[in-house]
Amino acid sequence: MSEPQLHVDDEPERRVGELLAAAARAGESIVLTGGSSVGHAYEHAASLEPDWSKASVWWGDERCVPPDDERSNYLLAKRTLLDHLADEPDVHRIRGELQPADAAGAYEKAIDGAELDFLLLGLGPDAHIASLFPGSPQLEEDERLVTSGPAGLEPFVERITLTLPALLSAKRIVFLVTGADKADAVRRGFREPVTPDAPASLLREGSVPIDVYLDASASGG
Ligand code: 6PG
């Protein structure tokens, strides 16, 4: 079992930006996330370290939309991180423009055998991680590394997501969580008993170190 370390900070986005910059400098393979909280962390990481040429970047999940769609997790990272770098990493995006099963198959082929050094995750208000939503059958996938399925929250487009075994193959997991609307999910995901009703809690069944960077509102005080 892994015991998540909670780091309450006034500016958790900056702390995570610093960690991302250090990982890029060290040439790590970094798994990025989507959502509304991470953009500032990406911008800060790019300003601290513009040379990502030794690193590779992957995504933990993607919405099934083209890469220039406003809902795309790739587009978020492109605008806030990749476009600001002097030297780009090796970029392995999930091809959300394909049919979900095809996109999942292609991404699984690409990521199979890759060592994932740094897995960045956001936390949904329902305690979902990547695109693994409470009670979804995708949570039970124990052979595939990548799967697809419906979204449990907005935007309601099909999702491609790493499975729990793939997430738990990472060497370290870093969460960025901000805002009072996440306080309940923080409690259910990191403090209360493990349950598929709070997918984040399932990560505690592995042995991967988990660091959660959060602001005071998300910590519930
Ligand atoms: C996505 C995600 C998702 C996200 C959380 C937190 O594609 O939406 O990767 O797992 O990280 O929902 O998102 P917010 O930061 O928007 O709350």
Structure token pair of residue 75: 């587009």
DSSP assignment string, 104-149 = HHHHHHHHTT----EEEE---TT--BTTB-TT-GGGG--S-SEEEE
- Please check whether residue 185 is in contact with residue 124, taking contact to mean a CB–CB distance below 8 angstroms: yes
User: Model confidence at 71, in pLDDT bands (50, 70, 90)?
Assistant: very high
Check pocket membership of 33 for ligand 1, CB cut-off 6 A. yes
Please, are residues 172 and 119 in contact by the beta-carbon 8 Å criterion?
A: yes
pLDDT in the model for residue 34: 94
Name 5's Cβ contacts closer than 8 Å, sequence gap at least 6. 209, 210, 211, 212
Total number of residues shown for the chain: 221
Atom 3 in ligand 1: which residue has the minimum CA distance? 130
Least confident of 35-39, 47-51, 110-114, 191-195: 35-39
Please tell me the predicted confidence (pLDDT) of residue 168: 98
CA distance 45 to 52: 10
Ligand 1 pocket test, candidate residues 70, 121, 123, 139, most atoms within 8 A of CB? 123
Is 94 close to ligand 1, i.e. is its CB under 6 Å away? no
Is 152 touching ligand 1 by the criterion CB < 6 Å? no
Query: Cα(125) to centroid of ligand 1, in Å?
Result: 9
Query: Per residue in 80-120, pLDDT tens?
Result: 999 999 999 999 999 999 999 999 999 999 999 999 999 99
For residue 221, the model assigns a pLDDT of 75
Residue 36's pLDDT band, with cuts at 50, 70 and 90, is confident
Q: Each residue of 124-172: pLDDT tens digit? A: 999 999 999 999 999 999 999 999 999 988 999 999 999 999 999 999 9
**pLDDT tens digits for 44-68?**
999 999 999 999 999 999 999 999 9
**Distance (Å) from CA 186 to ligand 1 centroid:** 14
**pLDDT for the residue 35:** 87
Q: 5-219 belongs to which CATH class?
A: alpha beta
Model confidence, pTM: 0.97
In the block, tokens 């040429």 appear at: 53
What pLDDT score was predicted for residue 37? 87
**Ramachandran angles phi, psi of 200, nearest 5°:** -60, -30
Q: State both tokens at 216.
A: 């005071």
Is the separation of the CB atoms in 91 and 63 below 8 Å? no
Per-chain mean pLDDT for the chain: 97
Q: What is the pLDDT of residue 11?
A: 97
Count of CB atoms situated within 10 Å of the CB of 53:
13
Q: Best substitution site from 32, 37, 76 to test ligand 1's pocket, by max atoms within 8 Å of Cβ?
A: 37
State the Cα angle at 126 between 15 and 200, rounded to 5°: 60
